[in-house]
């Protein structure tokens, strides 16, 4: 054997040996059950090998991360999020999640190396910890667990923003009937505390519970102190359940009894509030405009939609709207709107009246109407 032929044989042997070592190392890294000393190929490996042209990334390099996200202990019927991340590419073969908590396999959709799906806990799932596994081309690539809680009987919740429900305040009415056998797409709540029956519809902001029905009605503004019954009716008018809510108007000493109201401030809308003197009187020509501003550090519940400014000089009752503009940053809650002065009015001094806190607070400003 001449020298050049000998060197060629040795080089070929080194290349083949290096490929064998690399392949064994890769297989061991990819398979959590493979031994570095006794490497072997699973059926999934053979599937990937035979489909190199189509699914070369079916078995991802590295270890993907799996997150199964639920709302605390997931109740039967609740939704869960399944996220598989850290894939090197989008697998061409099916990515499937399986668990005894689900009624069957769940197919994940993949994009940019991440896969996701929304699954529902089976209504018959037992209350315990259930393993969740994700497979690609039949090979398990990641595992997690999901804790399933017990089913709860349908319930009605009444939640007010303040410690005590006030007349005119809004109340969250939430009906949860995630329970085997419950049906219906909408429900009705009625109460003597409400101006009219209120329809409960599915709360779109509630992702995990597909059977949460809610509404946020306002209590009657002049409601007398007392305890009121709220009744839930089925779509066909059948009584389902009821709950009671105590309502009490504010009293002397309560921060919202009189609030800290001041106004009305009157100014030229063309000049603006920031650049206009804060006056309780303003000269305005007939047919002109006047801006009315009202401040209150602690408005009465629901007053944001009820405040008005009245004047015999205005063309109509002025409904003051909550001013949530950026110019109100750092200022007390304030309410504003623009009034038009009547054209058929005599020149003179006319009151502008704002009544708040159920008539307990009454303040007056004045417009001085001029001919021109």
User: With helix as H, strand as E and coil as C, how does 88-135 read?
Assistant: CCCCCCCEEEEECCECCCEECEEECCEEEEEEEECCCCCCCEEEEEEE
Q: How far apart are CA 214 and CA 198, in angstroms?
A: 10
Q: How far is CA 257 from CA 190, 254, 281, in A?
A: 28, 5, 27
Contact yes or no for 115/121 (Cβ under 8 A): no
Q: What is the mean pLDDT of residues 44-55?
A: 37
Three-state DSSP at 266 gives: strand
pLDDT at 32: 34
Q: Look at 17-26, 50-59, 229-238, 271-280 and tell me which has the smallest mean pLDDT.
A: 17-26
Measure the CA angle with vertex 85, ends 31 and 34; round to 5°. Answer: 5
Q: How far apart are CA 4 and CA 311, in angstroms?
A: 111
Contact yes or no for 366/348 (Cβ under 8 A): no
pTM over 0.85: no
Contact yes or no for 292/320 (Cβ under 8 A): yes
pLDDT at 126: 95
pLDDT at 273: 77
pLDDT tens for 241-300 read: 999 999 998 899 888 889 889 999 999 998 887 777 668 899 999 999 999 999 998 888
* Closest by Cα among 248, 282, 302 to 350: 282
Q: What is the mean pLDDT of residues 310-327?
A: 89
pLDDT greater than 50 at residue 225? yes
pLDDT tens for 150-160 read: 999 999 999 88
pLDDT greater than 50 at residue 19? no
Contact yes or no for 167/223 (Cβ under 8 A): yes
Q: How far apart are CA 51 and CA 53, in angstroms?
A: 5
* Closest by Cα among 362, 364, 341, 367 to 267: 367
* Closest by Cα among 192, 364, 221 to 299: 221
* Closest by Cα among 191, 188, 196 to 165: 191
């Amino acid at each position: 054997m001449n020298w050049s032929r000998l060197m060629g044989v040795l080089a070929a042997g080194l290349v083949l040996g290096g490929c064998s070592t690399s392949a064994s190392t890769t297989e061991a890294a990819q398979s959590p059950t493979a031994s570095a000393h006794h490497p072997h190929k699973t059926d999934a490996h053979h599937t990937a090998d035979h489909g190199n042209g189509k699914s070369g990334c079916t078995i991802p390099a590295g270890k993907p991360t799996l997150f199964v996200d639920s709302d605390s202990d997931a109740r039967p019927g609740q939704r869960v999020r399944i996220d598989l991340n850290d894939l090197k590419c989008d697998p061409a073969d099916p990515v499937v999640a399986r668990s005894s908590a689900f009624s069957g396999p769940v197919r994940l959709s993949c994009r940019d190396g991440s896969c996701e799906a929304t699954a529902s806990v089976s209504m018959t799932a037992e209350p315990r910890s259930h393993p969740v596994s994700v497979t690609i081309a039949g090979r398990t690539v990641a595992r997690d667990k999901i804790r399933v809680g017990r089913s709860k009987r349908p319930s009605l919740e009444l939640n007010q923003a303040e410690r005590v429900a006030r007349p005119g305040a809004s109340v969250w009415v939430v009906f949860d009937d995630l329970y085997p056998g419950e049906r219906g797409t909408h429900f009705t709540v009625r109460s003597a505390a409400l101006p009219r029956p209120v329809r409960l519809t599915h709360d779109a902001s509630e992702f995990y519970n597909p059977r949460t029905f809610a509404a946020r009605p306002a209590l009657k503004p002049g409601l007398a102190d007392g305890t009121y019954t709220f009744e839930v009716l089925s779509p066909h008018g059948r009584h389902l359940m009821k709950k009671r809510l105590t309502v009490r108007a504010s009293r002397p000493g309560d921060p919202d009894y009189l609030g800290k109201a001041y106004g009305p401030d009157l100014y030229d809308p063309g000049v603006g509030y920031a650049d206009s003197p804060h006056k309780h009187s303003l000269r305005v020509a007939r047919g002109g405009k006047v801006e009315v501003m009202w401040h209150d550090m602690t408005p009465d519940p629901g007053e944001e939609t009820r405040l008005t400014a009245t004047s015999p000089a205005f063309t109509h009752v002025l409904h003051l709207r909550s001013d949530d503009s950026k110019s109100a940053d750092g200022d007390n809650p304030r309410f504003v709107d623009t009034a038009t002065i009547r054209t058929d009015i005599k020149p003179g001094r006319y009151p502008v009246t704002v009544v708040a806190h159920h008539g307990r607070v009454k303040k007056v400003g004045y417009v001085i109407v001029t001919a021109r």
